[in-house]
Amino acid sequence: MKKRIIKSRGFSLLEIIFVLAFLGIILLAAGNYARKLID
């Protein structure tokens, strides 16, 4: 049971990092698109 808990925690941390990185890319893309519209 302990091993499963540790694995689930590590996986959840990786998911959080992946989601944050994905959101960051979306924000950068949206920012660049907004700049193009403004210009």
Q: What is the pLDDT of residues 22-32, one digit of tens each?
A: 999 999 999 99
Rounded CA separation 20/13 (Å): 11
Q: Is the pTM of this model over 0.95?
A: no
Please check the confidence at residue 2 and state whether its pLDDT lies above 70: no
For residue 27 the two structure tokens come to 């924000």
Domain positions in the chain: 14-38
